[in-house]
Structure 1
Amino acid sequence: MFYWLLKRIVLGPILKALFRPWVKGLENVPASGGAILASNHLSFSDSFFLPLMVPRRITFLAKADYFTGRGIKGRTTAAFFRGVGQVPIDRSGGRAGEAALRTGLRVLRRGDLLGIYPEGTRSPDGRLYRGKTGVARLALEAKVPVLPVAMIDTDKVQPIGQRIPRIRRVGMIIGEPMDFSRYEGMEGDRFILRSITDEIMYELMKLSGQEYVDVYASTVKARLATVARERFEELAARGREVLDKRDGDRHGTAERPEEPDAAAADAVVAGAAEEVASAEGPVAPDSPAEDGGDLATHNGVARPDVVEQVDPVEERNPRAS
């Protein structure tokens, strides 16, 4: 009830008036029955604009942190996310990942639409990253089609770290349903799961026009966070050194220090701030078989071309063998 109240009366009309969202391929969404909407993930607002434009209700899997807050703010946030059709999942892996898959299966088996982000988190730089195989396992176990969805320009409306959206037009392209019934009964084969996932990511690449990087977005975010921490530590050390010199100068035990390079300090702070990723939004659950997902696919399935190879040892070329 709350879902439809927000969509049709409270929030929906305001979003449509301000952002004038457009959609192509709406006819590809089935009128009934379960299906997976697998989308690229550019912005926190993706989970608002896609349900706004699809007539049927969409349930997303969201990180449990949104539902466990304390106080009035925490309870309000939890009530809001439940109201807009999001279901909490624990993303810590292992049994939690299995529980997330079970939750998604319940949604699909009751004939509803499940929204999922195969990348597992928002893109840190607007490119399309390697998909996690949970989406493939869900499709096979629930025996439902997958609809690739490309969100357009939502990262310009609300980039990572920005709380208040900018007013500009956004769009989405819904591709034709992808049928993986030829792999029925093979959901335990990690090679098959990787092959299906890469096929989905290839369609997302074509629809969105994004560059593809054959690395997990979470890996890139972790590396960026490490760089950011190092830069902050460098700036802090520089500040301590300047303060120590000034203290010595006041007591006549040191020469007057040179003025600190303010421009360099500002650059360190700005660069780190841009690179530290903020809290993620709704995500795709990891498949328990994901630990074997780095191996190349087979059966001649088309794979996205590599644009950047960050780590040739850990990450594999996604071209079809």
Structure 2
Amino acid sequence: MKFVDEAFIDISAGDGGNGCASFRHEKYKEFGGPDGGDGGRGGHVFAVADPNLNTLVDYRYSRRHDAKRGQHGMGSDMFGVAGEDITLKMPVGTIISDAETGEALYELLTPGEKLMIAKGGDGGFGNLRFKSSINRAPRQKTPGWPGERKKLKLELKVLADVGLLGMPNAGKSTFIAAVSNARPKIADYPFTTLHPNLGVVRVGPEQSFVVADIPGLIEGASEGAGLGHQFLRHLQRTRLLLHFVDIAPFDDDVDPVAQAKAIVQELKKYDETLYEKPRWLVLNKLDMVPEAERESTVKSFVKRLGWRGPVYGISALTREGCEPLTRAIYTYLHAQRQAELGEVERDPRFDD
């Protein structure tokens, strides 16, 4: 399930420091000669592919990025210090284009890849540079060169990390609206969601993941019934599935356990690999259950379903339990990415 995540930024490399025109003044050295140093170069702007990032959400709130200018040259043959470089962390696969022309300039393809996207200006020359046999006391100096300034478009074709599945009106759209920047259509009738909705969930600075709301499934979806069958294939590319269940349906004749089992069977019929994918159970609409009965209701449901994996009870409407769930999801995804890079062992707490 590919979606385009994009952001626009303005970057400026640092200007070079100005050269210095100075002459040595020391006791007993009446004509010490020129000693003006060069200015330091301006700071560069780099982009680095960070495998721990998978969205561009941070650049939607921080658009301006300026590197420091170089220090000016000084007397006594002292050259200016180079300006400090800045490094912008971006997800692997980010395409960097000119925002005005649309021309693709760079692409970050491998983890850890580092590219200079704006070059700092060179420092100006001090008068020491102009000293010669025929020009013993030069007064020339040059200013620093300006650093590159660019308006860039960042584009990332991302895959959803987390897929939401469940019966119509299980509360998937309400959940994605509560925890992300997505604003799907929400109503009290089935099949409100007619196409996948994508949201970026931000749990902290440079800590985010992508969640996709799949249209509700019904029994027979694997054979083409309902709308969800059109999008089952998209779930194959997610890292984690959240199985949403309405724990308190309005119709007393509806059995949430039977609905949950029906969804599991549809996954198994459609694709055995999809059925084996990591899946967490999310029991939604706990606000509709009396507080004194919630714990027993959840335990009874899990026992009847025969579920052995992670279970989370939430209310997407009141957002109760949503924050612990999103933090657990990020922790799981981060461990998965690190394990793929061979940096840490897979966290056994999240294995089914």
TM-score bucket of the superposed structures, by smaller chain = under 0.3
Structure with more relative contact order (C-alpha pairs < 8 Å, separation 6 or more): 1
Give the TM-score normalised by structure 2: 0.24
Give the TM-score normalised by structure 1: 0.25
Instruction: State which structure, 1 or 2, has the greater radius of gyration over its C-alpha atoms.
Output: 2
